[in-house]
Amino acid sequence: MPPQGDQQERLFVVRSRRRMTRAHAALWALILATTAADTVLTLAGTQSGLQEGNAVVGAMLGAFGPAGLWLVKLGAMVWLVGGWAVLSDRNAAIFLGLFAAVTTVVTVYNAALLIQTGVLTV
């Protein structure tokens, strides 16, 4: 049952089940696609000798290799699902939208960098 009245305006909403709106579904699809692309591009770039630009991901890659990247991605997804689960519909859409925007920009930047350096050919 969706939140009623003033619950929809609250930042956090206590609910027994999370409703998947169309906007949320579209944002989740974009997030999953760009996260997968970012992961593949990051692995391709680092395996070809390029340095990771994100300090956290770089440290995890240095400490754990590719498994470190997967741990960072898993942590981000857990954080994202947690935020989506407790936020109101409107705030959840904003939260997902911001994450989708950042992930999309990073993925496009990584693809352009890999094309520029010759790691990826079009």
Provide the residue ranges of all domains of the chain, joining segments of one domain with +. 21-44+52-116
Give pLDDT, residue 115.
Answer: 96
Residues 44-69: tens digit of each pLDDT: 999 999 999 999 999 999 999 999 99
Answer yes or no: is pLDDT of 119 > 90. yes
Answer yes or no: is pLDDT of 89 > 90. no
Say which residue, 106 or 3, is predicted with more confidence: 106
User: Tokens at residue 30, please?
Assistant: 């974009």
Give pLDDT, residue 53.
Answer: 93
pTM reported for the whole predicted model: 0.83
